[in-house]
Every structure is written in structure tokens, then in C-alpha cells.
């Protein structure tokens, strides 16, 4: 079980799925810069030896994209991304 995760890996899987869906939506809507920054953090997190503890970097990229205010996301989509970011921040390295 991942440290800080009450229900095991399921919340993490759901968070990462949310991130992927939002990346697809952002790309479809032409929001390539925001999608790229989040995808870059996601890719970087997948390569580092400190996984899963480095998932907070994806959360930071999500926070920055939302704070930018230029995203073409409705409030529900922003809330989904914010929940995903919270889950990603909650994962600590065992």
C-alpha cells in the first residue's frame, strides 16, 4: 500500500486517469501549452527513481495550469483536476 493512501492504489489510478482525460481535452481544445506542461511533469514523474513520491510535481503543474486562468475548462473539469492534484500530493515515497 502506498503511504498516505487509505484505499491503496485506486485513488491514485483514478487521479492519473483524470489527468490523462484532461490532457486529452486540453489538446483537443487547442490548449497545447498547458497540456504540455502537465504532460511533461507526468512523463518526468514516470521516469524518476523516486516514484511514487515525485507525483507532487504533477500536482504542481496542474495547480499552475489552473491558476493561469487561460484554460478552457468548466468548473466541473477544474474541480476534477484539483481533486486529482490533491490525491497526487497525498502520495509519499515509502
Q: How many CB atoms lie within 10 A of CB 11?
A: 20
pLDDT tens track, the chain, 94 positions: 344 444 567 888 899 899 999 999 999 999 999 899 899 888 887 766 566 667 888 899 999 988 887 777 889 999 999 999 999 888 876 6
Q: Give the pLDDT of residue 3.
A: 44
Q: Give the pLDDT of residue 93.
A: 61
Q: Give the pLDDT of residue 54.
A: 77
pTM equals 0.74
Whether residue 83 is preceded by a cis peptide bond, meaning omega within 30 degrees of 0, is: no
Amino acid at each position: 500500500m502506498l503511504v498516505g493512501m487509505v484505499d491503496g492504489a485506486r485513488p491514485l489510478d483514478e487521479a492519473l486517469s483524470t489527468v490523462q482525460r484532461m490532457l486529452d481535452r486540453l489538446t483537443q481544445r487547442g490548449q497545447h501549452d498547458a497540456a504540455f506542461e502537465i504532460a511533461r511533469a507526468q512523463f518526468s514523474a514516470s521516469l524518476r527513481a523516486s516514484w511514487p513520491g515525485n507525483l507532487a510535481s504533477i500536482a504542481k503543474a496542474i495547480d499552475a495550469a489552473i491558476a493561469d486562468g487561460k484554460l478552457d475548462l468548466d468548473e466541473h473539469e477544474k474541480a476534477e483536476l484539483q481533486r486529482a492534484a490533491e490525491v497526487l500530493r497525498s502520495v509519499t515515497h515509502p
